[in-house]
Amino acid sequence: MKALTRSIALLMMGIATLSLATSCKEDDNKKPEEKKEQASLKGNISADRTLDAKVAYTLDGALFVKKGATLTIPAGTVITSETGFDKYILVEQGAKINIQGTAQSPVTLTAKDKKPGAWGGLVINGYAPLTSSQKSAKTEINSEYPYGGDNPADNSGSITYLKLEYCGAQSNDAVEHNSLTLNGVGSGTMISNIFAYMGADDGVEFFGGAVSVDNFLAVNMDDDMFDVTQGWCGKLTNAYGVWEDGHVSTEKDPRGCEVDGNHDGNYAGDSHQSNFTIENITILLAQKPSQDKGQFANDIFKIRRGATAKIINALVKGQGQAENFINTTDKLGNGTLTITYNNQLTTPLMGKLIKKEKEEEVNATEDKSLTGCDPALFAWTGYKFPDVKFESLKGNVAKDMTLDASVAYMLDGPLFVKKGATLTIPAGTVITAGQGFDKYLLVEQGAKIMVKGTAEKPVIMTGVEKRAGSWGGLIINGYAPLTSGQKSANTEINPEYPYGGDQPEDNSGSIEYLVLEYCGAQDNDNVEHNSLTLDGVGSGTKIANVFAYAGADDGVELFGGSVSVENFLAVDMDDDMFDVTQGWCGKLTNAYGIWRDGHVSTEKDPRGCEVDGNHDGNYPGDSHQSNFVMENVTIELAQAPSQDKGKYVNDVFKIRRGATAKIINALVKGQGQAENFINTTDKKGNGTLTITYNNQLTTPVFGKMIKNGAESEVSATEDKSLKGCDAALFGWTKYDFEKHTYNRK
C-alpha cells in the first residue's frame, strides 16, 4: 500500500513538474506587454519643457506656463483631461507654447468625459493692445492672470494642427471657458489649422490683441462659433462653423459670429475698438428647422458695440433656422459691417436679413457664386461634413471612371489609370492627397485622363499638409518618342511603369484649368516628384491652363515626347520652374515662373528653365535630342538680392547636353539674384539656344550674361520692348501678381 502511495505521489510530482515546465516554456514565448507611460500634468512650468508624443498625458489640474518658459508639444501628442472647470492650460504673458502638430499627426487636447464642457480648454495671454483705456485686463476664468499691453507684435509661440475636444467647463453662467481663448495675443504668434469640437461655449474668442488665425473649424459649439471682443485687430482666414442635426444650444443667444468692439460694452468711448477681417467663412446650420429656443441661431453675423468688421466671401447654408442674418444693433452701441455673402439657407429667417438702425452700418453685397471656406482644408481632422460626401481614391482605375465634383476626394495612396481606361475629372472637383511620397496619380501608357476644369471652376489637386513636397503629383506616361536609342524608359518615381515609344501623335487625354498645389514629395535626393510630369506624352494630348504652386521639385518636367503645353504658371518651385529632357520636341506657349520674396530653394542648382537634350547626359550620340520652342516666357525673381545658396537661381536659362532651344519673347524681371543669365555649357555636353529677350532684372547677375563654349551656341537678341507672358492669362488662378499672394477663394 505504501509502495502504491509512493508511486502515485511520484506520478503526481511528475505531472506537476511537466505542467510547470510547460508553463515556463509558454511564459518564455510570450512577448512582454507594452505599458504606456502615464504622466500627470498640472501646476507650473517654469523652465522650457518638451513633452513626449509616446507618453499618454493626463491633465489633472490647471497647468500654467510661466513667464520666460516655453512648453513644446510635438506632433502626435495626446493630452486627456480629467473632468472639471479647474482643468485647463494657461500660457501666461511672456511665456510661449509651441504646438507642433502635422496633418498626419495632429496634437489632441481632449477629455475622459466625452461631452461638451468636460474640461476647460487652452488660454493664451499676451501683451498686445486692448481697447485704448485698458492697459491690461484679467483673465475671465482666473482673475489672477493679466493680459494686454502695448506690444502688438508680441509672440506667444505657435500652434499648428491642433484638436480641441469637449472644452468649455463653466464656474457659473458668466464664467466659462472657450475651446481656444486668445487674450491680448500679438501678431508674432502663429496659429493655423485648429479643430474645436463639442465645446460648451465658443470655438475661439479673441479678447483684443492682433493675432491672426488661419483655418479654423468649429463644430457644435454651445454658444458662438467665432467670438470677438475688446479691440481685436487681426485676421481670421478660412473659418468653418457647423451645427449638426440634433445639436441644441443651452445658451440664450448662440450665433455664428458674435463681435463686440469693446468688452461688454463698457468702453464705448475708447479708441482701438475691434476692427478686423474675416475672409472665406462658411456657416452650416444642418439641424432641422425649429423656432424652439436653443435650436436656432439668434444671428448669423452680430456686429455691435463699436466694432468694425470686414467679411469677405461668406457662405451660409443648410436647412437650419436663424432669427437674423445680419444684425448690427445693440443697446450698448451698434457696429459697422462690410460683407460679401451668399445666403443658401433653405429655411426663411424668423427676423430680418439685415437688422440695422442706420444705412451706413451695413454695406452688404450678395454674390451667388461665392463658395465660402473650402472644407478640404480640414481633411486632416477626419471630420465628415454633414453635407459633403467623402470618398477615398487609391489603387487601379481599370475601366472608365468619372469623378463627382460634389464629392470630397482623399488620395490615400497611389492611383493608377490603367491601359484602356479613361479617368474624367469634372470642373470644380477637389482631390486632397494625404502626406507622403506614395500619394500620386499616374496615367499609364494607353490610358487617358480628362481634366475638365473651367476658369470659374478649376480642378484642384492639393495636399492635406499645406507645404511644398506634401504629396507626389500628376504623372502621365505616353508612347511618344524619346531620344533615338531609348525605345522606352521607366518612370523616375516608380520603375514598374514604362513610357516612350514610336507614336509622336499619341493621345493621353486632355487637361484644362488644373491647379497642382504642394507637390514634389521625394524618396531620396535623386527620386522626387514634380508637380506635373509628362513622360513620352504625344502631341494628341491637349494641355492648357495649369497652375503649379509651392512644389518641391519642378513645375513641369517634360521627359521626351511631343506634347505641347499652353498657359503654365509656376510659383515657388524648389528646383526648376520649367524642365526639359530626353528628346522633347513640342512647344510651350505662355509660361510664367515666379520666385516670391522669402522663397528659399533647398536644391543645389535651381533654375528658371533647365533643358537637357537627353536623359542625364547619358545618350549624347543619339539623334532626336530635345528640340523645341518656348514662346512668351516671363521669369520673375521677386526675392531680395542674395548670393547665399538657395536664394538665387544658378541660371535663368540653362540649355545643355545636346539640346536645341528656341525661346521667343522672354522677359526676366525682379530684384532677385541670378548667377548666369544664359548658360549653354555642361561637362556632359553643351547646348544651342536662339533667344529674343528683355532683361529687366534690377540686380546684376554675379556670373555671366552669356556663358557658352562657342559663339555658335547662342544667338541672343535683346529687345527692351518685349513683354514676355501676359499675367492676365492666369486671372483664373486667383494669384495676385502685384502683391504676390495666393488665395484661391
Q: Is the domain of 54 the same as that of 151?
A: yes
Residue 482 lies inside a defined structural domain of this protein = yes
pLDDT of residue 29: 42
pLDDT digits (tens, 9 = 90+) for 566-605: 999 999 999 999 999 999 999 999 999 999 999 999 999 9
Distance of CA 253 to the CA centre of its chain: 33
Q: What mean pLDDT is predicted for residues 152-170?
A: 97
Own/partner pairs, 489-492, CB within 8 angstroms, 24+ separation: 489/535, 489/536, 489/559, 489/560, 489/582, 489/615, 491/442, 491/533, 491/535, 492/527, 492/533, 492/559
Picking from 384, 399, 424, the residue at the C-terminal end of a domain is: 384
Q: Per-residue pLDDT for 42 more than 60?
A: yes
Cα–Cα distance, 338 to 357 (Å, whole number) = 15
Check residue 376 and give its pLDDT.
83
Indicate whether 580 belongs to any domain.
Answer: yes
Any domain includes 683: yes
Mean pLDDT across the chain, nearest whole number?
Answer: 93
Q: Let me know whether 230 and 351 are in one domain.
A: yes
Looking at the structure, tell me whether residues 175 and 273 fall in a common domain: no
pLDDT of residue 745: 65
pLDDT tens for residues 52-90? Answer: 999 999 999 999 999 999 999 999 999 999 999 999 999
Q: Is 712 helix (H, G, I), strand (E, B) or coil?
A: helix
Does pLDDT of 2 surpass 70?
no
Q: Given this model, what pLDDT does residue 3 score?
A: 36
Backbone angles phi, psi at 359, to 5 degrees: -55, -40
Residues 620 and 718 in one domain: yes
Same domain, 306 and 327: yes
Statement to judge: residues 118 and 260 lie in one domain: no
The percent of residues above 90 in pLDDT, for the chain, comes to: 90
3-class DSSP state for residue 727? helix
Q: Transcribe 494-515 into DSSP letters.
A: -TTSEE--S-TT---EEEEEEE
Q: Which amino acid is at 623?
A: S
Q: Are 504 and 527 spatial neighbours (Cβ–Cβ below 8 Å)?
A: no
Residues with Cβ within 8 Å of 702's Cβ and at least 6 positions away in sequence, in order, are 643, 648, 673, 674, 675
Grade residue 1 by pLDDT with cuts at 50, 70 and 90: very low
d(CA 691, CA 686): 16
- CA 393, distance to chain mean position in Å, is 19
Please report the pLDDT score of residue 599 as a whole number. Answer: 96
Give yes or no: residues 460 and 553 share one domain: yes
State the total domains in the chain.
3
Residue 25 confidence (pLDDT): 36
Whether residue 361 sits in one domain with residue 257: yes
Instruction: List pLDDT tens digits, range 684-735.
Output: 999 999 999 999 999 999 999 999 999 999 999 999 999 999 999 999 999 9
For the residues 631-648, what does the mean pLDDT come to? 96
176 and 108 both lie in a single domain: yes
Of 341-345, 406-410, 453-457, 503-507, the least confident: 406-410
Q: How confident is the model at residue 38 (pLDDT cuts 50, 70, 90)?
A: low
Do 569 and 635 meet the contact criterion of CB atoms below 8 Å apart? no
**Which triple of cell numbers denotes residue 105?**
499627426
CA distance 627 to 612: 10
543 and 471 inside one domain = yes
Tell me if 434 is assigned to some domain: yes
* pLDDT for position 9: 36
Mean pLDDT across 508-537: 94
570: closest CA among 537, 536, 540, 610?
610
Residue 4 is assigned to a structural domain of this protein: no
Q: Is the pLDDT of residue 22 over 60?
A: no
pLDDT confidence of residue 35: 43
Residues 592 and 535 placed together within one structural domain of the fold: yes
C-alpha span between 687 and 263 (Å, rounded)? 69
Mean pLDDT of 224-242: 98
A 10 A CB-CB count for 22 gives: 10
pLDDT computed for residue 387 by the predictor: 83
Share of the chain above pLDDT 70, in %: 95
Q: What domain range includes position 266?
A: 223-384
In a domain? residue 339: yes
Q: How far apart are CA 204 and CA 218, in angstroms?
A: 8
List CB contacts of 420: < 8 A, sequence separation 6 or more: 399, 446, 447
**Could you say which of 331, 358, 384 is where a domain stops?**
384
Residue 7 banded pLDDT, cuts 50, 70, 90: very low
256 within a domain of the structure (yes/no)? yes
> Which residue, of 334, 355, 384, is where some domain finishes?
384
Please indicate, yes or no, if residue 19 is contained in any of the structural domains. Answer: no
Same domain? For 455 and 333 the reply is: no
DSSP for residue 686: B
Average pLDDT over residues 344-369: 97
